[in-house]
Amino acid sequence: MKYFAHETAVIDEGCSIGNGTKIWHFSHVMPKCILGENCNIGQNVVVSPEVILGDNVKVQNNVSLYTGVICEDDVFLGPSMVFTNVTNPRSAVVRRGEYSITIVRKGASIGANATIVCGNNIGKFAFIGAGAVVTKTVEDYALVFGNPARQIGWMSEFGHRLVFDTEGIALCKESNEKYKLENNRVSKIGN
C-alpha cells in the first residue's frame, strides 16, 4: 500500500491504511484500525484500535477517534472535535469492552470543537455546527447547533442550507439538486 506518514507519526503494526492516505505530524494510528483510501489525518490525531474510516475522510488537527467510532466515506471531522466512547466513565472503574458504537454516515460534517456523545449516530450529509454537543441521533441532511444540539434546518449534499417551498421541495443553490421534505425526513430527488 502506498500512503504518506510524516516522520513524527507513529503507525502501529496491525492497522490497515489505504492508498493515497496522508498522516501528518505527531499523529498515532493504533493496531486493528482501518483507514480507507485518500484520507487526510491532520496533526496530533489519535486513531484508536478498531476505529474504521471509509474513503476520503478528512480528520483535522487535534481529534481523537476512540474505539467504537465508524466513519463512512467523505466524512469531515473539524479541528478539535471530540468523540466519547463510554457514557459513564470513572477513573477507578474499568469499562473496556463496554464501548458504545457511534456511526458517522457518508458525507456528514462535524464542526470544530463539537462533541459527539457515544451511541448517537450522525446521518448522511448531516451538518454539525461548531461547538455543538450532540446527545441524540441526528437525521440525514439535518443541520444542528448548540448545547445540547438542536436541529435548526436541513443541508444539501454540497453543504448549503435548504429552504423548502409549500410543497416540501428545495433546490441546492450550488448543485441545483432537488430535495423533498416529507414526514420530517429529507431525501434527494434529483435535478
pLDDT interval class at 43 (50, 70, 90) = very high
Rounded distance, CA 171 to CA 191, Å?
8
pLDDT band per the 50, 70, 90 thresholds, residue 190: low
| pLDDT tens for each residue of 127-139 | 999 999 999 999 9
Q: How far apart are CA 154 and CA 106, in angstroms?
A: 16
Q: For CATH 2.160.10.10, list the domain ranges present in the chain.
A: 1-87+99-155
Q: Is the per-residue pLDDT at 191 higher than 90?
A: no
| pLDDT attached to residue 96 | 83
Question: What's the per-residue H, E or C state across 6-71?
Answer: CCCCEECCCCEECCCCEECCCCEECCCCEECCCCEECCCCEECCCCEECCCCEECCCCEECCCEEE
Domain made up of 1-87+99-155: CATH architecture: 3 Solenoid (2.160)
